[in-house]
């Protein structure tokens, strides 16, 4: 008999926001392909502001209550993505219908949300204690869940969201540059992520512009959704006149186009202040693109053993040095690509999906 699973998530993509929680949707679809009966109760609205927050979370709660009332007894498993807030309504299904509760921590729920106030911190701990199993996407998160929140290690699994290796695959950098109309004579740096300060974009622009004063053959491509119009305006204003033609803000790209950009880039840069896992870095590695990233969270483990270059967070000088080293060392780039290929295969989505199904079936 096929397992019937309800996924509850406060982040999920839509036509208006195609990358918002895309990793959750990718996992849901991969599980469907394996024959599981997947249902969702998700929030697809990424707008901020007090009024919007009340509206979107109110609408989301109504969707969850609708599932609870109409199908609550039918779910074998309720899988909440993000401990809080998603785990709180998910607990209702466990309490009322004895559904198995699985919770996935993606990092922001522990690094940021749980630190907002004491009530959220206590709710986070309560949800973790009540869950039948906890999935974390990074080693640092596992240590926190076990050490700080007291969840027994046998109830915690380290399973990141995995990379779709059919989509994020090496396609030939020169060929992709040609398709995307990128100069073959320039060295192209790529950033992908939300356009927020915590992603290290201020330091990235500072490091890039300092480097390009000497090299004059670099281009920086920034892909991601705007979260703060004021901050984005500040970033654009910080671009010096002689760099206006080589710093590009591309907005949001769908997964297919994103894979092309990652394959075309000569270097992927992720200078985040915090990062639960760093899936975009893994996707770049899967495309055979070397990675320079902050030595934080899951990135510290993902890029260890010279699989990438780790730099100090919030430090433009360290970031510049890391980028400089990769540009000047072709042999090191080859080593990073080879190690990245091995890591990408170990984190192939198809392999990790089977581990999640095993947890559902326990």
Give the pLDDT band of residue 132 (cuts 50, 70, 90): very high
pLDDT tens by residue, 146-181: 999 999 999 999 999 999 999 999 999 999 999 999
| pLDDT mean across residues, the chain | 95
Spatial separation of the C-alpha atoms in residues 146 and 267, rounded to whole Å: 35
- State yes or no: pLDDT of 46 exceeds 90: no
Task: Output the pLDDT for position 271.
Answer: 98
Q: How far apart are the C-alpha atoms of 253 and 259, rounded to whole Å?
A: 9
The pLDDT value recorded for residue 2 is 78
Q: What mean pLDDT is predicted for residues 96-122?
A: 95
| CA gyration radius, the chain | 21
Task: State how far the Cα of 216 lies from the Cα of 327, in Å rounded to an integer.
Answer: 13
Quick check: 15 pLDDT over 90?
A: no
- Whether 77 shows a pLDDT value over 80: the answer reads yes
Segment (H or E) for 62: helix 50-71
What average pLDDT does this structure show over 240-256? 95
Q: Encode pLDDT of 203-244 as tens digits.
A: 999 999 999 999 989 999 999 988 888 999 999 999 999 999
CA dihedral over 195, 196, 201, 205, signed as positive or negative: positive
Give the CATH architecture of domain 4-162+348-361: 3-Layer(aba) Sandwich (3.40)
* pLDDT of residue 1 exceeding 70: no
How far, in Å, CA of 114 to CA of 149, rounded?
11
Task: Work out the average pLDDT over 188-195.
Answer: 96
CATH 3.40.50.2000 placement within the chain: 4-162+348-361, 173-346
pLDDT in tens, 286-308: 999 999 999 999 999 999 999 99
Cis-peptide, bond into residue 60, ω within 30° of zero: no
pLDDT for residue 58: 95
Give pLDDT, residue 19.
86
Query: Hey, what CATH topology would domain 173-346 get?
Result: Rossmann fold (3.40.50)
Predicted pLDDT at 34: 94
CA angle, 297 then 264 then 332, to 5°: 60
pLDDT at 50: 86
For the question of whether the overall pTM of this predicted structure is more than 0.85, the answer is yes
């Amino acid at each position: 008999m096929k397992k019937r699973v309800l996924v509850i998530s406060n982040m999920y993509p839509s036509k208006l926001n195609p990358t918002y929680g895309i990793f959750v949707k990718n996992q849901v679809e991969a599980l469907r392909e394996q024959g599981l009966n997947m249902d969702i109760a998700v929030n697809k609205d990424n707008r901020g502001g007090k009024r919007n927050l009340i509206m979107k979370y109110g609408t989301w709660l109504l969707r969850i209550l609708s599932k609870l009332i109409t199908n609550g007894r039918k779910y074998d498993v309720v899988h909440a993505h993000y401990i809080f807030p998603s785990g709180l309504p998910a607990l209702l299904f466990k309490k009322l219908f004895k559904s198995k509760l699985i919770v996935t921590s993606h990092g922001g729920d522990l690094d940021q949300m749980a630190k907002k106030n004491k009530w959220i911190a206590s709710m986070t701990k309560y949800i973790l204690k009540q869950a039948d199993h906890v999935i974390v996407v990074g080693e640092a998160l596992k240590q926190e869940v076990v050490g700080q929140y007291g969840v027994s290690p046998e109830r915690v699994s380290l399973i990141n969201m995995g990379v779709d290796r059919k989509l994020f695959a090496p396609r030939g950098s020169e060929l992709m540059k040609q398709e995307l109309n990128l100069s073959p004579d320039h060295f192209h740096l790529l950033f992908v992520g939300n356009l927020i300060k915590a992603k290290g974009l201020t330091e990235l622009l500072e490091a890039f512009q300092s480097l390009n004063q000497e090299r004059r053959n670099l281009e920086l491509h920034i892909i991601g959704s705007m979260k703060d119009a004021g901050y984005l305006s500040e970033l654009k204003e910080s671009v010096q006149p002689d760099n206006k033609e080589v710093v590009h803000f591309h907005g949001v790209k769908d997964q297919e186009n994103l894979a092309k950009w990652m394959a075309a880039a000569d270097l992927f840069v992720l200078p985040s202040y915090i990062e639960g896992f760093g899936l975009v870095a893994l996707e770049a590695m899967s495309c055979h693109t070397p990675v320079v990233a902050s030595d934080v969270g899951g990135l510290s483990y993902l890029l260890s053993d010279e699989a990438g270059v780790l730099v100090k967070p919030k430090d433009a000088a360290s970031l510049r040095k890391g980028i400089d080293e990769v540009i000047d060392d072709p042999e090191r780039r080859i080593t990073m690509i080879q190690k990245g290929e091995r890591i990408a295969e170990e984190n192939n989505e198809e392999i990790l999906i089977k581990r999640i199904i095993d947890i559902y079936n326990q």
